[in-house]
Amino acid sequence: MEETFNTLIDSFIENKVGIANDFLSVQLAAHLKNNLTNLYQDKLMLSGGTGNKNTIVHDQLVRNDVIYWLDRKHNDPYENTFFDLMDRFVAYLNLSCYTGITGYEFHYTLYEKGSFYTKHIDQFQQNGSRAYSMVMYLNADWKLADGGELCIHHANGEQHIAPENGRSVFFKSTDLLHEVLLTHVTRMSITGWLKVGNN
């Protein structure tokens, strides 16, 4: 995995956005996608909002995905395998880049056909604990016509990233405006943040 970790880190250093196409194995991505699909079918996913848990706002004109938080307490073998992978990545990141990451949080994310998330930054105004954002995609056979690209807004233009299966995207939570463009098919991912401090 160190080669994949280095690909993610090196591309981040070069372009402020790290991309690795095989961060999740095909097998793990399939199991996590199955988990997500079951949660959605059982109506256990909740509308995504903006703001922290004390000031959360649900505005369908800004964001209309649904989410479900991952937790080791679920004792799901595939979620735990994912957490083990993240533990390895955080340890490698801290060792090689001195980032000081102390924790993380991740949720399943599903965008139904016709969904989107307008331009935003992944940082709360009163809480700076989110240091890095990460997204790992769970979409097999994604095509350009499916839409749903992650659009990163750089000073010199836009970067569009297709949500292809197993691909991971990594960037600083405070730095880059980004959005999820209108998706024409169901779009699934695991989305989260690497955190610093005690929050």
Domains and CATH numbers, the chain: 2-52+63-195 (2.60.120.620)
Q: What is the pLDDT of residue 124?
A: 59
Amino acid at 161: I
Phi and psi, residue 35, nearest 5°: -55, -50
Q: Is 160 left (phi over 0), alpha (psi -120 to 50) or beta?
A: beta
Nearest to 143 by CA among 183, 190, 96: 183
CB 163 within 8 Å of CB 129: no
Q: What is the pLDDT of residue 173?
A: 86
Q: CB-hemisphere CA count at 13 Å for 125?
A: 5
By the 10 Å C-beta count (0-12 exposed, 13-18 middle, 19+ buried), 7 is classed as: middle
Q: How far is CA 169 from CA 7, 17, 44, 64, in A?
A: 11, 7, 26, 21
pLDDT tens per residue across all 199 residues of the chain: 899 999 999 999 999 999 999 999 999 999 999 999 999 999 999 987 555 555 555 556 677 899 999 999 999 999 999 999 999 999 999 999 999 999 999 999 999 999 998 888 866 555 568 899 999 999 999 999 999 999 999 999 999 999 999 999 999 988 889 999 999 999 999 999 999 886 5
Q: What is the pLDDT of residue 56?
A: 55
- Predicted model pTM: 0.89
Q: What is the pLDDT of residue 125?
A: 55
Q: What is the pLDDT of residue 55?
A: 52
Q: What is the pLDDT of residue 128?
A: 66
Nearest to 150 by CA among 173, 181, 118, 184: 181
Is 97 in a helix, a strand, or coil? helix
